[in-house]
Amino acid sequence: MSDDARTTADYINEFTKLVYEKLSKAEFNERRRREGKGPINMVLLRGGAGSLRNFEPLSTKYRIKPAIMLGGSR
């Protein structure tokens, strides 16, 4: 793995850990737990910018209801 790839992987791993920690303590997840629902506990990061692949929908493959938030550049 190149140094640039290692640096990128380190940042992504740190970000993913931070997201997990923040979501596990989020007020909306406490409410979901009280309601007997599973917590929202992770983000799905995928590479491949600039390419298009067909994936089996997560709702079909894992029987979940995924949510997506996107941000655009200015």
How does DSSP assign 1-28, residue by residue?
--HHHHHHHHHHHHHHHHHHHHHHT-HH
pLDDT in tens, 3-36: 888 998 899 899 999 999 999 899 999 999 999 9
Q: Check: pTM over 0.75? Answer yes or no.
A: no
Q: What are the two backbone dihedrals, phi and then psi, of residue 43, each rounded to the nearest 5 degrees?
A: -110, 150
- pLDDT recorded at residue 5: 86
Decide: 31 and 38 in contact? Cβ < 8 Å.
no
